[in-house]
Amino acid sequence: MWRLRDKMPDDTIIGGRGPNGPLAPDTELNRWFQKIYVDRYGTPPTYPSYQMALSVLGLKVAWDKAQKAKGGKPTTDEVVQAFEGIEYDGPSGHVKLALSNGHQGIQETAYGTYRFNKQTKQPELVDVMRFPAECVNPPNGINADDWIKDGMKGAKCK
């Protein structure tokens, strides 16, 4: 949306897997991430940059957990094991490794309506709706297709 700007039609619904980019929550960590990204690249961070930040932060959390458990430098296998079930905050909000027995991360998701603001000459999202991670992801051990076909039983929506 940063490149298309006034070429993208107003009222386009924008969303993705997780609240990345302009859908990320307004937190101190996200404001810091946006600032350093814009300072370096001259454009706001996009979906992939948020995903990479989440990956690096997740690795750090797992590494620290494995290092503490071992009392020294962990092996790759120990770091992999430490990933299981971790939770941490990133620029796009809270991450919980909750699916696939603690090996797959979930986050809330958000959708908004695109609009090009002619006064500021900037793209923006309005009417943003957020959905908790447990509302849009199946419970652990349930196949997503089956969960949807079965009416999303167990969804925890606020």
Q: Write the pLDDT tens digit of every residue in 56-111.
A: 999 999 999 999 999 999 999 999 999 999 999 999 999 999 999 888 999 999 99
Q: Please list the residues that pair with 99 across neighbouring strands.
A: 104
Please give the pLDDT value at position 32: 97
Any idea which residue has 């430490």 for tokens?
82
Q: Is the pLDDT of residue 155 over 90?
A: yes
pLDDT digits (tens, 9 = 90+) for 109-147: 999 999 999 999 999 999 999 999 999 999 999 999 999
Q: What band does 2 get if pLDDT is binned at 50, 70 and 90? A: confident
Whether 148 has a pLDDT exceeding 90, the answer reads: yes
Residues 114/128, Cβ–Cβ less than 8 Å: no
Query: Which amino acid makes up residue 131?
Result: F
Chain centroid to Cα 18, Å, comes to: 4
d(CA 132, CA 93): 11
User: 114: phi > 0 → left, psi -120 to 50 → alpha, else beta; which?
Assistant: beta
Domain residue spans of the chain: 5-149
Phi, psi of 121 (to 5 degrees): 60, 35
Confidence of residue 53 (pLDDT cuts 50, 70, 90): very high
Q: Give pTM, 2 decimals.
A: 0.86
User: Do 157 and 151 contact (CB within 8 A), yes or no?
Assistant: no
* 8 Å CB contact between 18 and 106: no
| DSSP H helices in the chain | 28-41, 47-70, 76-83, 133-136, 144-149
Residue 149: how many CA atoms within 13 Å on its side-chain side? 5
